[in-house]
Amino acid sequence: MNAGIIPYPHSTGNPSRGMSFELGGVNFSYPGTQKTSPALKDVSLTIQAGQLIVIVGSNGSGKSTLIRILSRLYDPTSGTVQIDGRPSEEYIVSDLHEATALLSQDNQLYPLSLHENIGLGYPDKVKDIGLVQQAAEQGGAIEFISKLKDGMSTFLEPIIQPFQINLYRNKTHVLYKEMDALRKNIDISGGERQKVVAARSFMRFQSGKIKFVAVDEPSSALDAESELKLFENLIKVRDGKTLVFVTHRFGHLTKYADQIICMKDGSVCEVGSHEELFNKDGEYPKLYKIQASAFTAQ
Ligand SMILES: Nc1ncnc2c1ncn2[C@@H]1O[C@H](COP(=O)(O)OP(=O)(O)OP(=O)(O)O)[C@@H](O)[C@H]1O
């Protein structure tokens, strides 16, 4: 990856409205991949600052890869990416990452309390109980956290291995009871993990540095109602941010979108609003109708 020297945000573009993107003829193959066709093929598109974009398409069509290029986790194999009107490689990569909140299935939780896991989104304010609580609510995590005996203080995945070696056969040892309690880790579900990570993103928003929010398929872990709530809460704080959402669920998301980007086999096959795309004989109405029929079929 090319490391630039220009800080972000920069006076070019209008970062106060969110990050803008312009992709020209982007091709991308994963390093060392066995696949003969690239993950992205000749992708050209424009995302204006502050827009709400929804990316749809069938499995393997390149949605997550596009998000990774926009988030500058990878540079294209060929083609150009402009951010706020400048080649993306001119910027300091860590600055771009600091201005980006990426919410995906890959997100990590740490062996810390739930409070700390959320507060880490904005370390300067980790001790601000009210702010962390608010982020937990916005991420949709507060409901399940309030049902835990220790609430926000619940510790996730404690690392006990190094301490238990001399204890596990000695049940009378004074520390055995402590160790036994620790061993009963709080194991939270995939959807609950996603909500904690979402809460951490809302905490990051408090820093005022986030200009681009990418949400990659929370629906694989979140139920429909939780996804809708997360989406509504993101909409409430979207001011000054560009929001890109990848989803397999159509409806509320796609109807709100300024632009829907529909992908097929690594290429962008259609771009437009729900109304524009729905009335054409293309991939979008096909995917939409397949999904609708799954709910209406007897
Ligand atoms: N880390 C990786 N290494 C190699 N190939 C990858 C990697 N991630 C994705 N691919 C390949 O790149 C192509 C596009 O994948 P991508 O994950 O972007 O699709 P997607 O539209 O997000 O799919 P899905 O809806 O299944 O999540 C696929 O052929 C996939 O197998």
164-193, pLDDT tens digit by residue?
456 556 677 776 666 665 555 567 888 898
Closest C-alpha to ligand 1, atom 10:
39
Closest atom, ligand 1, to C-alpha of 65: 18
70 and 19 within one domain: yes
Which residue in this structure is represented by tokens 């620790």? 182
The ligand 1 atom at the shortest distance from the C-alpha of residue 220 is: 27
74 & 215 share domain: yes
Q: Say yes or no: 67 and 91 in one domain.
A: yes
pLDDT of 77 reads 95
CB 70 within 8 A of CB 244: yes
Same domain, 147 and 76: no
Does the interface predicted TM-score (ipTM) exceed 0.95? yes
Domain match, 36 and 85 both: yes
Of all protein residues, the one whose alpha carbon is nearest to atom 6 of ligand 1 is: 30
Average pLDDT for 237-264 = 89
Given a cut of 80, is residue 288 above it in pLDDT?
yes
User: Does one domain contain both 226 and 167?
Assistant: no
Residues 164 and 136 in one domain: yes
204 within some domain: no
Same domain membership, residue 125 and residue 87? no
What distance lies between CA 196 and its chain's CA centroid? 12
Q: In terms of residue numbers, what domain contains 221?
A: 15-99+211-293
Looking at the fold, whether 283 and 220 belong to one and the same domain comes out as: yes
More confident residue, 282 or 43: 43
Query: Which tens digit of pLDDT belongs to each residue from 230-249?
Result: 889 999 999 999 999 998 87
Q: Does some domain include residue 206?
A: no
Q: Quickly state the pLDDT bin for 256 (edges 50, 70, 90).
A: confident
pLDDT at 279: 87
Tens digit of pLDDT for each residue in 47-68?
999 999 999 999 999 999 999 9
Instruction: Look up residue 260 and give its two tokens.
Output: 């829907």
Residue 139 inside a domain? The answer is yes
Q: Does 199 fall in a domain? A: no
**Count of structural domains, the chain:** 2
How far, in Å, from the CA of 14 to the mean position of ligand 1?
32
Q: Does residue 189 lie in a domain region?
A: no
Query: Which residue's CA lies nearest to atom 1 of ligand 1?
Result: 30
242 C-alpha to ligand 1 centroid (Å): 23
What is the residue with the minimal CA distance to atom 7 of ligand 1?
30
131 and 91 in a common domain:
no
Spacing, Cα 65 to ligand 1 middle (Å)? 6
- For residues 123 and 214, give the distance between their C-alpha atoms in angstroms, rounded to a whole number: 21
The closest-lying atom of ligand 1 relative to the alpha carbon of residue 248 is 25
CA 61 / ligand 1 centre spacing (Å): 7
pLDDT at 227 over 90: no
- 94 and 120 inside one domain: no
- Sign for the CA dihedral angle at 100, 102, 106, 107 comes to positive
State the CATH number of the domain containing residue 34: 3.40.50.300
Of the pLDDT bands very low, low, confident and very high (cuts 50, 70, 90), residue 115 is very high
